Structures are given as structure tokens and as C-alpha cells.
Amino acid sequence: MSVRGRIKPNTCSGRLALTIIFVLGIALICTGVRYLYGGNGAEEPYPWKGHYSQFTLLTMTYDARLWNLKMYVKHYSRCPSVKEIVVVWNKGKPPELSDLESAVPVRIRVEEKNSLNNRFNLMMLNKASEIVGFYPRLTDGSPLKYRDEKYARSHGGYNMILTGAAFIDSEFAFKRYWSEEAKAGREVVDKYFNSISRNTQVHYRIRSDCLHKFSQMYGNLASLKSKFNGRSDGWDV
């Protein structure tokens, strides 16, 4: 027997059942519309020490990935915590702002040189005590080796965060990055920039070589290790 046959609209229980179904239907429709057009499930910005918890989203790209940039801007500009988007344009003809569909202001910074170092020019999140993000890594061993997230979690900690999806305070870190003391490190970044291979094993070996050079310059990276679930704000779960 169908639902319609079971519910008798002429009775009190039937009218109550129809009312409940109608209300649930409206609620589901509103939820669906909000998900598709007006919301994304992200936390609303909240006040912290007199400022709202919004941040600048920075992405680095070039002409061959314009299609990806358009999707990126359209999606992330609708996150309530995103205040603006900065596009670091490394190569080729930059897009017009009108080419990008965004709910927040977008700035395009065209670089003269195609370099990974361009990601760390001064602008990003304010007042964060350390780097946090979505791609934890662990470098350890002798000789030093670059390890993936699965390895990091199985060993209960990490000492690297990939900067493609990371939050960092510009005042805290970027001035150091562009200091004279870090010049040799930036040169290593440029040296290895075009050496990264699509082959995973080669890719990891090159990163391990790069980290070995950094350890020679700045000390043993393996001795610096943060544990998961160690932050009270939950950013390292």
C-alpha cells in the first residue's frame, strides 16, 4: 500500500502526518538551496582581540592553470572567513579581474621571475604564532628523508607543513624568509624548483636532498617535531 493510501487526510492523525511531511519537505528544500547557493558549511568569522577571524587567501599559479584558478576563486571566495584573495601570477599573460567570479576582492600580483619564493612575499594572515595547515609531513632518519602524511601520523608527529594550504603570520615568518641570512636557502629553492618530477619516488628523493641542504644550513630539522592533537584550537588533529 502506498503512503497516500495509508494516510487519511480527513482524520486528525492524517492531517498531523501531512503537516509533518510538509514541514520536513520545506526544511530539506531550504537546506538544499542554502548548500547550493548560499552556504558552504564553513564557520562564520568570529571576533578575536578586536578583529574578526578573516584571512587573506594566497594562491600561486600561471597561465596554463587559469581554468583551475577560476574554480578556486569561485569556490573559496564564498567561504565566510575569506576576506580577500591574492593571486601570485608567476608566468604568462595574467587574467583580467573580470575573468574571475569572486564574492570577495581579488588582487593579482604579477611576478617578474617564475619562482617558488614568490609565494612568501609579505601578505597573508596576521598574528598567528606558528604555521598550521592541511598537509603535515615528517622528515627524519639518517640520511634525512622526506616522508608523507601517512608516515607522519603513524609516527605521532610532524615537523613540516606544505605551504600550498597553510596559515602563517607574515610578520612572524616572511621577514625572516626574505632576510639576508635566508638568502642561501632561497637560492636552493630556485635551484630545485624546476627539478621536481611527476614520478613520486624521484619527487621524494629531490625533496630529501633539498632538506638535507637546509639541515646543513640551519640545523637538524628532524629534532623539531610537533605532536598531533597538541594545539588547544584543534588545528592539528
Please give the Cα distance from 175 to 169 (Å, whole number). 10
Helical segments of the chain, H only: 3-6, 12-33, 66-76, 149-154, 175-177, 183-193, 200-218
Same domain, yes or no, for 100 and 138? no
Same domain, yes or no, for 60 and 31? no
The count of domains in the chain is 3
Same domain, yes or no, for 225 and 134? yes
Same domain, yes or no, for 81 and 146? no
Same domain, yes or no, for 181 and 168? yes
Give the pLDDT of residue 231: 62
> How far is Cα of residue 39 from the mean position of the Cα atoms in its chain?
18
The mean pLDDT value of the chain amounts to 76
Give the pLDDT of residue 92: 92
User: Does residue 203 contact residue 138 with C-beta atoms inside 8 Å?
Assistant: no
All 3 cell numbers of residue 38?
Answer: 548560499
Segments forming the whole domain that contains residue 23? 13-42
Same domain, yes or no, for 196 and 142? yes
Sign of the dihedral through C-alpha 5, 9, 13, 16: positive
Q: Model confidence at 5, in pLDDT bands (50, 70, 90)?
A: low
User: Does residue 73 contact residue 85 with C-beta atoms inside 8 Å?
Assistant: yes
In a domain, 25, yes or no: yes
Q: CA–CA distance from 72 to each of 21, 100, 210 (Å)?
A: 38, 9, 29
Closest C-alpha to 136, from 153, 161, 164: 161
Model's pTM, two decimal places? 0.51
Amino acid at the residue 174: F
Same domain, yes or no, for 77 and 38? no
Q: What's the burial of 219, exposed, middle or buried (CB within 10 Å: 0-12/13-18/19+)?
A: exposed
Higher per-residue confidence, 76 vs 128: 76
In a domain, 5, yes or no: no
In a domain, 1, yes or no: no
Q: Say if residue 66's pLDDT is above 80.
A: yes
All 3 cell numbers of residue 167?
Answer: 596559515
Please give the Cα distance from 93 to 83 (Å, whole number). 26
Closest C-alpha to 87, from 114, 62, 52, 50: 62
In a domain, 142, yes or no: yes
Q: What is the mean pLDDT of residues 87-99?
A: 92
